[in-house]
């Protein structure tokens, strides 16, 4: 799992049948201090997240497990909306 900040949405009219009805969100992967480590990852939302939320993103086969769709062409899924992150100051 990785921390991320939801920055936008993706709308695709033509898409794989396994993605019909799935909400796709643009996420910037971040470190524990909120600094962007990777921009513009697209993840399928499984928990009702929205733009501005800090979330946990699962990647690879763990993302497909979160969707309960082993054959879906997905490699990132939002699996939690984060309430707080507590880390040692730099």
- What confidence score (pLDDT) does residue 4 get? 98
Within 13 Å, how many C-alpha atoms sit on residue 27's CB side? 31
**Average pLDDT by stretches of 10, the chain with 90 residues:** 97 92 96 94 96 96 78 90 92
Q: At 33, which CATH number?
A: 2.40.50.220
- What confidence score (pLDDT) does residue 89 get? 82
Overall number of domains in the chain: 1
Supply the range of the domain harboring residue 57.
Answer: 2-81
- What confidence score (pLDDT) does residue 38 get? 95
- What confidence score (pLDDT) does residue 65 get? 79
Is the pTM for the entire model greater than 0.85? yes
Question: Does residue 88 lie within any of the structural domains?
Answer: no
Question: Does residue 86 lie within any of the structural domains?
Answer: no
Element (H, E) at 65: helix 61-67
- What confidence score (pLDDT) does residue 90 get? 78
Element (H, E) at 62: helix 61-67
């Amino acid at each position: 799992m990785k921390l991320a900040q939801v920055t936008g949405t993706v709308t695709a009219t033509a898409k794989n049948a396994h993605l019909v009805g799935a909400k796709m969100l643009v996420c910037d992967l971040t470190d524990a201090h909120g600094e962007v480590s990777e921009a513009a990852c697209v993840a399928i939302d499984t928990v009702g997240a929205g733009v501005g939320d800090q979330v946990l993103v699962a990647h690879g086969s763990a993302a497909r497990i979160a969707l309960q769709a082993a054959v879906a062409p997905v490699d990132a899924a939002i699996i939690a909306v984060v309430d707080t992150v507590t880390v040692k100051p730099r």
